[in-house]
Amino acid sequence: MNRLTIPRPDDWHLHLRDGDMLASVVVDTAAHFGRAIIMPNLVPPVITSVDALAYRSRILAALPAGSEFQPLMTLYLTETTVPDDVVAAAASGLISAVKLYPAGATTNSDSGVRDFDKVTPVLEAMAENGVPLCVHGEVTDPDIDIFDREAVFLEKVLDPLRQRIRGLRVVLEHVTTCDGLDYVRQGGDDIAATITTHHLFINRNHILAGGIRPHNFCLPVAKREVHRLALVAAATSDEAAFFLGTDSAPHVDAAKQSGCGCAGIYTAPNTMSCLAALFEGEGALDKLEGFVSRHGPAFYRLPVNAETITLIKRDTPIEFPDKCETPDGPVTIFDCGQPLYWEVETS
Protein backbone atom coordinates (compact mmCIF):
# COMPACT_ATOMS: atom_id res chain seq x y z
CA MET A 1 0.00 0.00 0.00
CA ASN A 2 1.36 3.43 -0.91
CA ARG A 3 -1.79 5.53 -0.62
CA LEU A 4 -4.18 5.83 2.32
CA THR A 5 -7.29 8.04 2.54
CA ILE A 6 -8.95 8.51 5.95
CA PRO A 7 -11.40 10.94 7.54
CA ARG A 8 -9.57 14.10 8.55
CA PRO A 9 -8.00 13.32 11.94
CA ASP A 10 -8.49 15.17 15.22
CA ASP A 11 -6.02 16.00 17.98
CA TRP A 12 -7.59 15.46 21.40
CA HIS A 13 -4.83 17.23 23.37
CA LEU A 14 -3.06 20.28 21.95
CA HIS A 15 -1.15 23.31 23.18
CA LEU A 16 -1.38 26.40 20.97
CA ARG A 17 -0.04 29.00 23.42
CA ASP A 18 -1.05 32.60 22.66
CA GLY A 19 0.04 35.76 20.90
CA ASP A 20 2.88 35.50 18.38
CA MET A 21 3.52 31.85 19.26
CA LEU A 22 -0.13 30.96 18.58
CA ALA A 23 -0.02 32.62 15.17
CA SER A 24 3.14 30.70 14.28
CA VAL A 25 2.09 27.19 15.34
CA VAL A 26 -1.65 26.94 14.70
CA VAL A 27 -1.05 26.60 10.97
CA ASP A 28 0.77 23.29 11.48
CA THR A 29 -2.21 21.71 13.22
CA ALA A 30 -4.81 23.27 10.92
CA ALA A 31 -2.99 21.82 7.88
CA HIS A 32 -3.82 18.21 8.84
CA PHE A 33 -6.41 18.15 11.63
CA GLY A 34 -10.10 18.97 11.62
CA ARG A 35 -10.49 19.66 15.34
CA ALA A 36 -8.39 19.76 18.49
CA ILE A 37 -9.00 19.92 22.22
CA ILE A 38 -7.18 23.11 23.22
CA MET A 39 -5.33 23.15 26.53
CA PRO A 40 -6.17 26.07 28.84
CA ASN A 41 -2.86 26.49 30.70
CA LEU A 42 -2.08 29.97 29.47
CA VAL A 43 -0.75 32.76 31.67
CA PRO A 44 -3.26 33.67 33.06
CA PRO A 45 -5.17 30.41 32.56
CA VAL A 46 -8.51 29.97 30.78
CA ILE A 47 -10.72 29.62 33.86
CA THR A 48 -14.14 31.01 32.93
CA SER A 49 -16.43 30.85 29.92
CA VAL A 50 -15.53 34.49 29.20
CA ASP A 51 -11.85 33.48 29.04
CA ALA A 52 -12.64 30.55 26.75
CA LEU A 53 -14.68 32.68 24.37
CA ALA A 54 -11.89 35.26 24.10
CA TYR A 55 -9.19 32.62 23.56
CA ARG A 56 -11.29 30.87 20.92
CA SER A 57 -11.66 34.17 19.08
CA ARG A 58 -7.88 34.66 19.08
CA ILE A 59 -7.33 31.16 17.70
CA LEU A 60 -9.87 31.64 14.91
CA ALA A 61 -8.32 35.00 14.01
CA ALA A 62 -4.87 33.36 13.71
CA LEU A 63 -6.01 30.63 11.29
CA PRO A 64 -5.05 30.78 7.62
CA ALA A 65 -7.72 32.16 5.33
CA GLY A 66 -10.22 29.50 4.36
CA SER A 67 -9.27 27.10 7.14
CA GLU A 68 -12.14 25.05 8.60
CA PHE A 69 -10.18 23.92 11.67
CA GLN A 70 -12.33 23.89 14.82
CA PRO A 71 -10.75 24.61 18.21
CA LEU A 72 -12.58 22.67 20.92
CA MET A 73 -12.17 24.74 24.06
CA THR A 74 -11.60 23.63 27.65
CA LEU A 75 -11.72 25.32 31.04
CA TYR A 76 -8.90 25.08 33.56
CA LEU A 77 -10.29 23.53 36.76
CA THR A 78 -9.47 25.52 39.90
CA GLU A 79 -10.71 25.37 43.46
CA THR A 80 -12.88 28.41 42.73
CA THR A 81 -14.44 27.16 39.47
CA VAL A 82 -18.21 27.78 39.44
CA PRO A 83 -20.30 24.71 38.51
CA ASP A 84 -23.00 26.74 36.75
CA ASP A 85 -20.42 28.41 34.53
CA VAL A 86 -19.05 25.03 33.43
CA VAL A 87 -22.48 23.55 32.75
CA ALA A 88 -23.66 26.59 30.80
CA ALA A 89 -20.46 26.74 28.73
CA ALA A 90 -20.78 23.05 27.85
CA ALA A 91 -24.49 23.32 27.05
CA SER A 92 -23.85 26.21 24.69
CA GLY A 93 -21.11 24.30 22.86
CA LEU A 94 -18.44 26.78 23.90
CA ILE A 95 -16.39 24.14 25.73
CA SER A 96 -15.96 20.42 25.16
CA ALA A 97 -14.24 19.48 28.43
CA VAL A 98 -12.67 20.69 31.65
CA LYS A 99 -8.98 20.17 32.35
CA LEU A 100 -7.63 18.95 35.67
CA TYR A 101 -4.04 19.84 36.50
CA PRO A 102 -2.78 18.74 39.90
CA ALA A 103 -1.03 21.90 41.11
CA GLY A 104 2.59 21.93 39.99
CA ALA A 105 2.33 18.89 37.71
CA THR A 106 3.48 20.53 34.47
CA THR A 107 3.86 23.81 32.55
CA ASN A 108 1.70 26.63 33.95
CA SER A 109 -0.12 24.35 36.39
CA ASP A 110 0.35 26.41 39.56
CA SER A 111 -3.34 27.35 39.56
CA GLY A 112 -4.34 23.68 39.59
CA VAL A 113 -6.08 21.59 42.23
CA ARG A 114 -4.56 20.88 45.63
CA ASP A 115 -7.67 19.94 47.60
CA PHE A 116 -10.00 17.69 45.61
CA ASP A 117 -12.83 18.16 48.10
CA LYS A 118 -13.07 21.77 46.95
CA VAL A 119 -13.81 20.77 43.35
CA THR A 120 -16.33 18.02 44.16
CA PRO A 121 -19.39 20.23 43.39
CA VAL A 122 -17.99 21.01 39.93
CA LEU A 123 -17.18 17.37 39.19
CA GLU A 124 -20.63 16.27 40.34
CA ALA A 125 -22.25 18.83 38.03
CA MET A 126 -20.05 17.61 35.17
CA ALA A 127 -21.06 14.00 35.82
CA GLU A 128 -24.75 14.95 35.79
CA ASN A 129 -24.36 16.79 32.50
CA GLY A 130 -21.92 14.49 30.70
CA VAL A 131 -19.04 17.00 30.56
CA PRO A 132 -15.70 15.17 30.16
CA LEU A 133 -12.83 15.73 32.57
CA CYS A 134 -9.41 15.71 30.91
CA VAL A 135 -6.86 14.62 33.49
CA HIS A 136 -3.14 15.21 33.78
CA GLY A 137 -2.61 11.97 35.67
CA GLU A 138 0.36 12.52 37.96
CA VAL A 139 0.80 13.19 41.64
CA THR A 140 3.15 16.01 42.57
CA ASP A 141 4.38 14.76 45.95
CA PRO A 142 8.17 15.30 45.92
CA ASP A 143 8.60 12.03 47.79
CA ILE A 144 7.21 10.09 44.81
CA ASP A 145 9.70 9.16 42.10
CA ILE A 146 8.90 11.01 38.87
CA PHE A 147 8.70 7.70 36.98
CA ASP A 148 6.04 6.41 39.41
CA ARG A 149 3.78 9.45 39.53
CA GLU A 150 1.22 8.20 37.01
CA ALA A 151 0.74 4.85 38.73
CA VAL A 152 0.40 6.48 42.15
CA PHE A 153 -2.10 9.01 40.78
CA LEU A 154 -4.33 6.21 39.50
CA GLU A 155 -4.36 4.48 42.87
CA LYS A 156 -4.45 7.43 45.24
CA VAL A 157 -6.40 10.08 43.30
CA LEU A 158 -8.23 8.99 40.18
CA ASP A 159 -9.76 5.71 41.29
CA PRO A 160 -11.12 7.11 44.59
CA LEU A 161 -12.45 10.12 42.65
CA ARG A 162 -14.28 7.94 40.14
CA GLN A 163 -15.65 5.71 42.87
CA ARG A 164 -17.02 8.76 44.67
CA ILE A 165 -18.45 10.53 41.63
CA ARG A 166 -20.13 7.88 39.53
CA GLY A 167 -20.74 8.64 35.90
CA LEU A 168 -17.94 11.18 35.57
CA ARG A 169 -16.52 10.84 32.07
CA VAL A 170 -12.72 10.92 32.20
CA VAL A 171 -9.93 11.13 29.64
CA LEU A 172 -6.60 10.04 31.09
CA GLU A 173 -4.42 12.23 28.95
CA HIS A 174 -0.98 11.34 27.58
CA VAL A 175 -1.00 7.92 29.25
CA THR A 176 2.57 6.60 29.58
CA THR A 177 2.48 3.34 31.52
CA CYS A 178 1.17 -0.21 31.44
CA ASP A 179 -0.61 0.72 34.68
CA GLY A 180 -2.54 3.49 32.95
CA LEU A 181 -3.46 1.33 29.97
CA ASP A 182 -4.70 -1.47 32.22
CA TYR A 183 -6.70 0.96 34.33
CA VAL A 184 -8.48 2.35 31.29
CA ARG A 185 -9.19 -1.12 29.89
CA GLN A 186 -10.81 -2.13 33.15
CA GLY A 187 -12.62 1.17 33.75
CA GLY A 188 -15.75 0.82 31.63
CA ASP A 189 -17.32 3.15 29.09
CA ASP A 190 -16.78 6.32 31.13
CA ILE A 191 -13.00 6.41 30.73
CA ALA A 192 -10.65 6.68 27.76
CA ALA A 193 -7.03 7.70 27.23
CA THR A 194 -5.06 9.75 24.76
CA ILE A 195 -1.65 8.61 23.56
CA THR A 196 0.90 11.09 22.25
CA THR A 197 3.03 10.79 19.14
CA HIS A 198 6.29 11.13 21.01
CA HIS A 199 5.55 8.54 23.70
CA LEU A 200 5.11 5.99 20.91
CA PHE A 201 8.70 6.59 19.80
CA ILE A 202 10.82 7.49 22.81
CA ASN A 203 11.64 5.91 26.15
CA ARG A 204 13.63 7.44 28.98
CA ASN A 205 16.93 6.48 27.35
CA HIS A 206 16.15 8.93 24.56
CA ILE A 207 16.22 11.71 27.15
CA LEU A 208 19.19 10.68 29.28
CA ALA A 209 21.47 8.12 27.63
CA GLY A 210 24.64 9.58 26.13
CA GLY A 211 23.84 13.09 27.33
CA ILE A 212 20.76 15.12 28.19
CA ARG A 213 18.45 15.69 25.21
CA PRO A 214 16.16 18.54 26.26
CA HIS A 215 13.98 18.35 23.14
CA ASN A 216 12.84 14.87 24.22
CA PHE A 217 11.89 16.04 27.71
CA CYS A 218 8.17 16.10 28.39
CA LEU A 219 5.72 15.61 31.24
CA PRO A 220 4.68 12.98 31.92
CA VAL A 221 8.26 11.92 31.32
CA ALA A 222 8.87 9.00 28.96
CA LYS A 223 9.20 5.71 30.80
CA ARG A 224 10.95 2.35 30.28
CA GLU A 225 10.89 0.55 26.94
CA VAL A 226 8.34 -1.97 28.22
CA HIS A 227 5.87 0.87 28.66
CA ARG A 228 6.57 2.31 25.20
CA LEU A 229 5.92 -1.07 23.63
CA ALA A 230 2.65 -1.34 25.56
CA LEU A 231 1.60 2.08 24.24
CA VAL A 232 2.37 1.01 20.68
CA ALA A 233 0.31 -2.14 21.18
CA ALA A 234 -2.62 -0.12 22.54
CA ALA A 235 -2.52 2.51 19.80
CA THR A 236 -2.43 -0.09 17.04
CA SER A 237 -5.00 -2.39 18.66
CA ASP A 238 -8.09 -0.57 17.35
CA GLU A 239 -9.45 -0.48 20.92
CA ALA A 240 -11.99 2.34 21.09
CA ALA A 241 -10.71 3.59 24.48
CA PHE A 242 -7.41 4.82 22.97
CA PHE A 243 -7.01 7.72 20.57
CA LEU A 244 -4.56 10.40 19.51
CA GLY A 245 -3.81 13.40 21.69
CA THR A 246 -0.47 14.73 20.54
CA ASP A 247 0.22 16.98 23.52
CA SER A 248 2.17 18.97 20.96
CA ALA A 249 3.70 21.70 23.11
CA PRO A 250 5.88 24.37 21.53
CA HIS A 251 8.65 26.01 23.55
CA VAL A 252 11.39 28.15 22.04
CA ASP A 253 14.82 26.54 22.12
CA ALA A 254 16.11 29.02 24.68
CA ALA A 255 13.46 27.81 27.15
CA LYS A 256 14.24 24.14 26.46
CA GLN A 257 18.03 24.45 26.49
CA SER A 258 18.44 26.06 29.90
CA GLY A 259 19.39 25.23 33.47
CA CYS A 260 15.72 24.39 34.15
CA GLY A 261 14.33 23.51 30.76
CA CYS A 262 10.63 23.46 29.94
CA ALA A 263 8.74 20.20 29.42
CA GLY A 264 7.10 19.77 26.04
CA ILE A 265 7.70 18.36 22.56
CA TYR A 266 6.49 19.98 19.34
CA THR A 267 5.00 17.29 17.11
CA ALA A 268 2.24 19.04 15.16
CA PRO A 269 4.12 19.36 11.83
CA ASN A 270 5.08 15.69 11.40
CA THR A 271 2.67 13.68 13.58
CA MET A 272 0.76 12.09 10.71
CA SER A 273 3.97 11.04 8.97
CA CYS A 274 5.36 9.62 12.21
CA LEU A 275 2.18 7.68 12.96
CA ALA A 276 1.87 6.26 9.45
CA ALA A 277 5.44 4.98 9.70
CA LEU A 278 4.82 3.43 13.10
CA PHE A 279 1.51 1.79 12.18
CA GLU A 280 2.99 0.46 8.94
CA GLY A 281 5.92 -0.99 10.87
CA GLU A 282 3.49 -2.78 13.17
CA GLY A 283 1.51 -4.17 10.23
CA ALA A 284 -1.46 -2.09 11.39
CA LEU A 285 -1.83 0.65 8.81
CA ASP A 286 -5.49 -0.27 8.54
CA LYS A 287 -5.89 0.63 12.24
CA LEU A 288 -4.56 4.18 11.84
CA GLU A 289 -8.00 5.54 10.89
CA GLY A 290 -9.56 4.37 14.13
CA PHE A 291 -6.80 5.85 16.28
CA VAL A 292 -6.68 9.29 14.66
CA SER A 293 -10.15 9.76 13.14
CA ARG A 294 -12.84 7.66 14.83
CA HIS A 295 -12.26 6.71 18.48
CA GLY A 296 -11.93 10.28 19.75
CA PRO A 297 -15.15 11.59 18.20
CA ALA A 298 -16.99 8.55 19.52
CA PHE A 299 -15.93 9.25 23.11
CA TYR A 300 -16.64 12.98 22.83
CA ARG A 301 -20.01 12.22 21.19
CA LEU A 302 -19.17 14.12 18.03
CA PRO A 303 -19.48 13.08 14.38
CA VAL A 304 -16.49 11.85 12.44
CA ASN A 305 -15.13 14.55 10.16
CA ALA A 306 -16.74 14.40 6.70
CA GLU A 307 -13.62 15.75 5.01
CA THR A 308 -10.74 13.37 4.28
CA ILE A 309 -6.96 13.52 3.97
CA THR A 310 -4.72 11.30 1.88
CA LEU A 311 -1.31 10.01 2.89
CA ILE A 312 1.09 9.16 0.05
CA LYS A 313 4.17 6.99 0.53
CA ARG A 314 7.13 8.57 -1.21
CA ASP A 315 10.17 6.83 -2.63
CA THR A 316 12.50 9.17 -0.77
CA PRO A 317 12.34 10.45 2.83
CA ILE A 318 10.49 13.68 3.59
CA GLU A 319 12.79 16.54 4.50
CA PHE A 320 11.06 18.19 7.44
CA PRO A 321 12.66 21.39 8.75
CA ASP A 322 14.46 21.07 12.07
CA LYS A 323 12.82 24.21 13.44
CA CYS A 324 9.62 26.18 13.34
CA GLU A 325 10.61 29.83 13.25
CA THR A 326 8.52 32.15 15.44
CA PRO A 327 8.87 35.82 16.44
CA ASP A 328 9.83 34.57 19.92
CA GLY A 329 12.59 32.31 18.60
CA PRO A 330 13.01 28.90 16.97
CA VAL A 331 11.00 25.88 18.15
CA THR A 332 12.58 22.48 17.53
CA ILE A 333 10.34 19.96 15.74
CA PHE A 334 10.23 16.40 17.09
CA ASP A 335 12.72 13.95 15.58
CA CYS A 336 11.29 10.43 15.80
CA GLY A 337 14.68 8.90 14.99
CA GLN A 338 13.84 7.33 11.63
CA PRO A 339 13.27 8.44 8.03
CA LEU A 340 9.67 9.25 7.20
CA TYR A 341 8.13 8.40 3.84
CA TRP A 342 4.40 8.97 4.37
CA GLU A 343 3.38 12.52 3.44
CA VAL A 344 0.02 14.25 3.72
CA GLU A 345 -1.06 15.11 0.20
CA THR A 346 -1.68 18.79 -0.36
CA SER A 347 -4.15 20.14 -2.91
Beta pairing partners, 4: 311
State the distance between the two ends of the chain, measured CA to CA, in whole angstroms. Answer: 21
pLDDT of 104 > 80? The answer is no
Q: Which residues contact 271 (CB under 8 A, 6 or more apart)?
A: 11, 32, 197, 244, 246, 248
- Predicted confidence at residue 107, as pLDDT, reads 65
Whether this prediction's pTM lies above 0.85 is answered by yes
pLDDT of residue 67: 97
What pLDDT shows up at residue 347?
62
Give burial (CB, 10 Å; 0-12/13-18/19+) of 259. exposed
pLDDT range class, residue 198, cuts 50, 70, 90: very high
> Cα separations (Å) of 181 from 19, 134, 231, 237, 265?
36, 16, 8, 12, 22
DSSP SS3 for 163: helix
Mean pLDDT of the chain: 96
Strand partners for 172: 135, 193
| Integer angstrom CA distances of residue 86 from 65, 301, 339 | 31, 18, 44
Q: How many domains does one find in the chain?
A: 1
pLDDT of residue 303: 98
Active site residue 179: no
> What confidence tier does 20 reach under pLDDT thresholds 50, 70, 90?
very high
So what's the pLDDT on residue 106? Answer: 67
Q: What is the CATH number of the domain that holds 11?
A: 3.20.20.140
Averaged pLDDT, 3-32: 97
233: which residues sit within 8 A by CB, 6+ positions away? none
Full domain range(s) for residue 269 = 3-344
Give me the catalytic one of 182, 247, 253, 322: 247
Residue 102: per-residue pLDDT? 85
Q: What digits encode the pLDDT tens for the residues 33-43? A: 999 999 999 99
User: Is 80 exceeded by the pLDDT of residue 129?
Assistant: yes
Report which of 128, 126, 131, 156 is spatially closest to residue 141, judged by C-alpha positions. Answer: 156
Residue 300 and residue 12 in contact, taking contact as beta carbons nearer than 8 Å: yes
Which of left, alpha, beta for 175 (phi over 0: left; psi -120 to 50: alpha)?
A: beta
Are the C-beta atoms of residues 268 and 28 closer than 8 Å to each other? Answer: yes
Q: Who contacts 347 (Cβ-Cβ below 8 Å, separation ≥6)?
A: none
The SS3 call for residue 130 is coil
Residues 272-328: tens digit of each pLDDT: 999 999 999 999 999 999 999 999 999 999 999 999 999 999 999 999 999 999 999
